[in-house]
A and B are shown apart, each in its own frame.
Chain A
Amino acid sequence: MKNDSTLAYLRRMNPVPEAASSVDGAELLDRITSLPHDEPLRARRSPHRRRVALVAVGLVVMALLATTALAISGWFGDVVEPPVTKQEYRNAQDMLTLPPGATWRELNLDPNSVTSRGGGGSYAVMIAMGSWECYWVDAIKSGDQPAQQQAHSELNSLLHDHVVIAPPGASENWAPSTAQFPVAAFADDGGYQMKQAMYADAAAGHPHSLIQSCRANGP
């Protein structure tokens, strides 16, 4: 990157120019490393990445299908082009929380494709859901109770606030007509209730389904 005076100006205005901590680093280090640490130091594939990959594949397939239907986009109801979907995805990121350490994946869409309106928000909801599920699994494995409770709470909030059930018999492209955003629409096939039961079971000490859900999209 060439010299940029906008960035130079911003650098000069840095309100905290020095990296510094006011805590006793040695004491904090001892305290942290005295905590349980059960994870082996080997490269581990991020579990939520697998779920994200599946969602991404789904979106790409949807986009590819839609690409061929640009001229007949009426088939897809209210469809939008990639910039709108990407903006929806960014807007959704401002409204959803990912677990510590997780980041939002890039949304790649064919430039000539169309997607149902709200698809960017739906994609973000599914990413958040998958990330929190796998974060919960990790927290169970490491015995981190606060993290488990946080994951449970976040997932319940996602289900309550950002997931809707499509009416019976609705098409696959059904989208809620309300201004609710971001929102993922689940088919009326018991999937929503299965998620609820899965989270309740995990909270009650039976995380088998949760672990399977996290693992399901793995290679």
Chain B
Amino acid sequence: MTNQPDRQSAEARFREVFSHLGAVTAYARRRGSRDPDGIAAEAMTIAWRRLADVPADDPLPWLYATARNLVLEESRRSAPAAAAGDDAEQSFDPQPFELDPALDQALRSLSRFDREALLLVAWEDLTPKQAAKALGINGTAFRVRLLRARRRLQASLEQATPPSPHLNHLDVEGT
């Protein structure tokens, strides 16, 4: 059991972690969770319980990794119910929602890992270093994956849609 000063120290530290509640909720919503508030609350509860595992300097990648696993679990739990419908395959995998159909289709064409690499940087605004931590890979491997994911996304977008003003000059190589 912890004594009072330890508990106060833990609570003080947890308040910093908890300040990311909104970001984690938004993450869950972007990944298509049916209960983003619940996912965020669960992620925070786990963070409290396992506070020693949460990196003190930058808890966000850890929180996103935890929320990601929870969203995947939520998705798997709902898979049997969805299987009865017509959209079982798509319902199985957490997906962005209310997107431009071409972008939605292009994102779905990526592997889940590639898509997550892209979205952690583009939507969660993580640095490559942070995103690599959230995915449990090193920074170099992440950059390679990100480059490949961008190429694939662009190829899918070009296949799905005729040239449009904002897609005419996509910089695939990032150069």
Binding site for B on A (CB under 8 A): 1-7, 9-16, 18-23, 25, 28-29, 32-33, 35-44, 46, 90, 93-94, 97-106, 138, 142, 144, 147
Contact = CB atoms under 8 A, between A and B. Distances in A.
B76 interface: yes
A29 B123 CA distance: 26
B82 interface: no
B96 A15 contact: yes
B171 A4 contact: yes
Nearest to B45: A32
24 contacts: A7-B118, A11-B122, A13-B99, A14-B123, A15-B30, A16-B26, A19-B23, A21-B22, A23-B37, A23-B41, A32-B41, A32-B48, A35-B45, A37-B2, A37-B49, A38-B1, A39-B52, A40-B2, A46-B53, A90-B113, A93-B113, A97-B72, A98-B69, A106-B137
Contact of A29 (B15, B40, B103, B175): B15
What is the predominant secondary structure among interface residues of chain A facing chain B?
Answer: loop
Most buried by B among A23, A37, A40: A37
A90 B21 contact: no
Interface of B: 1-2, 6-7, 9-11, 13-15, 18, 21-23, 25-26, 29-30, 37, 40-46, 48-53, 62, 65-66, 69-70, 72-73, 76, 93, 96-100, 103, 111-113, 118-119, 121-123, 128, 133-138, 141, 143, 150, 153-154, 166-167, 169-172, 174-175
B2 A100 contact: no
B48 A35 contact: yes
A104 B172 contact: no
A101 B48 contact: no
